Structure 1
Amino acid sequence: MDFHHSTSLTVYLLSILGYCAGQDALPSGPVNGTLGGNVIFKTTINPTTLFAISWTFGEPPVSVVDFVSSAGSVIGVGYVGRISLDNSTGSLELRKLTLIDSGTYRVSLRTADVIQVGSTSLIVYETISNVTLRANVIDLMELNDTVIFSCSVSSGSSPFSYRWLNGSSEVTARYGIQLGDGGRTLTIANVTRYDQGPYRCIVSNPVSSKPSQNLTLIISYGPENTTMKVTPLDVLYGSGSNLTLSCSAESSPSAQFQWLLNGTLLSNNGPELRLENIQANQSGSYSCWAHNTRTLRYQISEPSDITVLEPISGANITTTPNSSIIEGGSVNLTCDASGAIITREWMKDGHPLSAGGNIIISEDKRVLSINPVKRTDSGEYRCRVSNPISTANAKHGLIVNYGPDGMEIMGPSEIEVGQKITLTCSADSIPTSSYTWVLNGTEIPGHSPEFTKEKSEYSDSGDYTCTATNNVTGNKTSVVHKLSVKTEGSLSQGLSAGAIAGIVIGVLLVLGVAVGVAVYFMKIKGFFKKESSRSVGNSKSSANGGGPGGNQDLNYADITQFQKRDGGSVQLGNLGTSSTEYAQVRVNNRPGQPAEPPTYKSHHS
């Protein structure tokens, strides 16, 4: 047995028997090494002078290297060119590792007065390569299908650990997700659109880690959240406008789109519908229909009502009846126009008109009825029709025919012969009435409301009848006016009230003087004596119940003329009036008094 062999055997035996001053010359293991790589077994001692170092491997121990300070190093079989030894610490580097290098390594370190020993294990791993990710199915239906991923390694030393990623997020076991076969498989039940990936698996062992290639699932879903957008968005559109309807939906693969109007499919396909120069007959409820050819599902968007209005034109008012309107009858005014009419308003003579009294307005305000018609209903009627994009007005002048009524004749009741006659007849009437004149039953030619004659005659006296005729209403009304033609100069014209009063006073004075003179002459002639004797007889007769008694009123006497004794008469003249003036005479049955002519003073007392 050579020296080196005996040295390593001695060290080995001492380490087994515990004849040493120190343990744990190596840290606890194991030490992991990579196939083909290097590993260093570091001791726990600080650099010092070592007299002997011995490394062995396995059971029974096989010498790796022996070192004696006085003789140098001896490298074991199979380790030549693969090791390096630190003589100051005893650390060992082992290179070009092979799988059979895995095992237990021991070391013995001897200084001048102590021996330290230690052991550790080496595990040599092959690095992982060719990690492959597979799925049982790639094209799946959302909420219907389940996918199973499997991760495999073509080379590498176990044990393996597996880590799963969806994008950058780690996938862990939870509801609907299971990890199996030590983490080698991943199962996702009832996949959703958020499970599409990309997926990776990362396989690791103590010395290496390797990811797989990415794998992305195709998950079909939808359509969902199908929405329609109208551009430009408005409540109402005028005819001739251009609109664009766009439809979108959440769907994989992309949905196919069709368009519906009032629930009926249109021939248009695609996510966009262009409506150019749109007309009123294209108004309605639009919606889009989204269909997924993979899931065979479909969804219809919420409808959008598109209302197209034509501008209002040709506004007009028609009347029923269309003949002349007569007071007391009825009339309907109808307001119509071309285009979409949203509102109607009625006005009369510029003022808003509402229902009430004899005015009736239909619910849609198309027809305004007047019943019964009054003359005050005449005027200009206006109908205003409008929609949000336009306005139009129509007007109609309503003429209510009425009359004649309120007739009167203006003119004098007395004129002097030879003076001009002017009589004017008037009546309230629409249209203007025609007039006829009748004098004392005889029609006067002409139809003027005014009757004139330059020089009146006595034969012009009488009843003038004016008849007004309304040829539309068919009504006639007459009025009578009395005219008296007097003798020339018999009518005082143009006298003031003071002049008339003066004339009256003068006439009364003349009458008073005339009466006084008459009484005086009658007294001189004895007229009262004779009457006195008669009165006595009458008095007696009165006592018997006959004749007047007391103070009794007698009939009036005409005193405009007096009778002379010779049978002639005295004319007092024209007193300025056509009527006869009378004097009131009272008979006094008291005894007669001496007759004296009345004085001017007594006449007025």
Structure 2
Amino acid sequence: MLTRNVQPSSNPAVVGDTLTLSLSPPTNMKSGSWAVGESLILTWIRDQEAVFPNHTGRASVNVLTGALTLRSVTAADSGVYVVQSSDPQLRANASITVLERISNVTLMAKQTDFVEFNSPAIVACSVSSGSSLSFLWLNGSSEVTAGERVQLTDGNSTLTVINVTRYDRGPFRCRVSNPVSNGTSDPVNLNIIYGPDNMALTVEGSFSVGYNLTMLCSTQSNPPAQLQWAFRGEFANTTGPLLELYGITEDQSGPYSCLAFNNHTNMNSSITSHITITSEFLSEAISASIFLNVFPASLFPWFVSTESPSSGSKQQAVSGPFRCNVSNGVSYETSPPLYLNIIGPSNTTMMITPVVPNHVYRTESNITLSCSALSKPSAIISWMFNGVDMNIYGHWIHLNNVTVSNSGNYTCVSHNTVTSRSRSAHAVIYVLDPLESVEVNNTGGAAIVNESFTLHCDVTGTVDRIQWWRNWHVIIPDNTTIFDMDNKTLTLDPVQHSDAGNYKCQAFNSVSNMTSSPYNVVVIYGPETPTITGPTVGRAGYSVIFSCYASSNPPSLYSWYFNGNPVANTSVYITPPLSEDMSGTYTCKAYNNITDGDSSTYLCFVSEPITEVHVETPLNPPRDHYPYMLTCNVTGPAVHFHWIKNGMELHGDSGHVFQMHNETLTFNPLNRNESGQYKCMALNAVGNMTSPPYELLVNLANTSMFTTDCLSLNMSGEYTCMAYNNVTERNSTTSKMLTVVGKKTQGNRLDNCKSGFFNSGRVTFLNVLIWSVMIKNSTRPINSENFTLTCEVTGPYDTLYWTKNNTRLNVTNPYYHTENNMLHFTAVTTLDDGTYECVATNKAGEHKSPKFMLLVNYGPLKVEISGLYFHPVDLTVSMECSADSRPECDFYWFLDNESSAVIHTGSVITLIATKLSQGNYICVAKNPVTNITMYKTKEYVIGGLMMMGLFALSVPVLFT
């Protein structure tokens, strides 16, 4: 085998350019083929080339050097190009890249509003044009790379941020580049809803009676939180960030709380500050008592309000004000008033911050419990846990980095040492570990079509609920999708093609939720019944190409067999030069090494040409009014036969019956008008051959004198007498013309019925009548091709003319002309559609043919794909293909390229509305009469459409 390299004219090539792939060093090649991947581009043998439909009009080959030329290349032309030849033996390949310049870089987010930690953000980057794309993501000015929370999929064109946070708001940009161009999208901002959290409370002003206090509350929240103030656990009539207190009193001492609520997240948070307001009078009273101790006087009268207290009164029940009147011999002084309150404890309340639903906290959280009570003097606060004294005193208790063991019943006890009274408040706190890991596993085998397949959601941590996702959509159970073990297992029974995709399980508890990494389920199937593409006959000395395809995942392994013997292990089989012993059955077998399934199909192939054709007759002579049969005897394989009489092709009617693919022609019965020259043509894909003419003479009598029956108009014609000598085995013939004239009556018989006889001379009647006029055609009318109508007249006529739509045709029209009894169209078009009549005239008058409707076959002129039409009942979409054509086209659907297997026939195709159905759907419309084929491509993607590509092709017959 020769060693050669493929040398491209440019690599990478630019979309729209012409690309030439040459062999280095140059090599003379008599035959070979070019393919890209597994798709054949063209083949050639000597000076004949055959271009496959997906490259028609764009590909050609230099049949001497094997150089391939591709015009108007597209990005889809990228791939590994392989050239191989059997004369000489060689195989070479090269990887070619075709790049398209980038334009219109666009970012599209499925949604832009998110709740923090609750859902993923998905942003897709796309371009209007461009190939071999590289994607770079930016958040602000920082590059975004894949990580624990960030996924880059679909070739990095899709950015997924798992459980978005407030720091993921953007702006996001996508920068796309390839070796020849680049572009950057407009920014996209995300609205992250979060909070309230990180609260702060500041107090400004004096804590003394009579002064003013201002409290400012702040929190982090989007949208801004609603703020509500509370005092001693009860809501105050104040909202907003500011709480202002004017002329404060001691009664306003206590816990002040700011509560924040976000009506989008439905979350709340709070912060509490304990404020103690003191009286200046107390310090002055103490100073006075100290002064009195230093300067004793003789009299210390006490007054409550304006009265002096009785010596036996209960002082602790009196609130005051108390005054002390001090005097001596030279002066008199009264102290400022002193108020004395001895109450409580009452209104003992406990607050827990941060505020969370049901007091369920995540481990490692910091929790503050605060206790307040209305008491004079201030109550002593002690704490208990699950009924056991904690030996902790004070208004606050801080639980830092809590664990599960901190769960329990907390009680605060307030005690007034003067009144000896106690009150308590309690609350139950729950501490849970967050989920540590969530993973999807499969303990069974692969997902094989029509078998059962189970996925398990393995969770580390306490879980309340599990939810499954497939391709970003929540999975709803149905008769083939089954959940078990509180949704921890998902069973597909049976597996279907549509079950392929990325599966995730999401686990929830009260303090966290976690989603697993995607588990890609690849559905294994096939192989389905293979399809063989290739000829059924071939010419000796030439190679032919068979291509086999069977839908399968993983892709099928292929084997070729000739009459049961292996000949190749590839999907494409190129035969050696054909010989007659290579006719037989070629079988393609496809095998899937995972399902252990196989499927096969076969093609009967003949490589023999037709070598001889002649017309064979039965032993009995052809007699008028008796059945008779002609047989086309062929040496070699024939697919079809045509019969020709006097140069005109015969068609089946009540008098002519074709059998065995037209191999036999039966006259039932034979009549004298069937006399003439008959030929048969045998055809196969290799070629055709026509027999020598056979002269059929209908035998009317076996005597020296022939007397006709009562004459009828159809008895006009040439009568031949043959004399035969049995000894010499020689014969001689002579002929006479008989013209039957007269007035036609019912049954085509003549008035005053007469008989004629032949001995010598001629029989003639006057006033000739035409018996019948018929319009016939030997070919089908195809737009822009030549077409002929023939007027067959039974009986003598003088002139003949044609009418269209009851109007006589103008014989000077350049687009048609008459010749003898024929009307020639050069060439026929749809403008020639109409009703035609042939009118034959003689001295007896005019005779019109039955009306002949001419409808010219054309097209397809254009092909359209309409849709997509969504059907919500069965979650399918449909597309409809239509073509301007006469007759109606046959429609074939392909996915991604025309060389693939036909996935559907008919004008309407229905798809399951899943991502697996995405792709370029190609409708091939073929006119069965004109043999013209046109293609239309429509891309189906979830959430969008793209129209692309229109190609037309007249399909040639190869190697004829």
TM-score interval, normalised by the smaller of the two chains: 0.3 to 0.5
* TM-score, normalisation: structure 2: 0.30
Q: Which has the higher contact order (CA 8 A, sep 6+)?
A: 1
The structure with the larger Rg is: 1
Q: Select the structure that is richer in helix.
A: 1
Q: Select the structure that is richer in strand.
A: 2
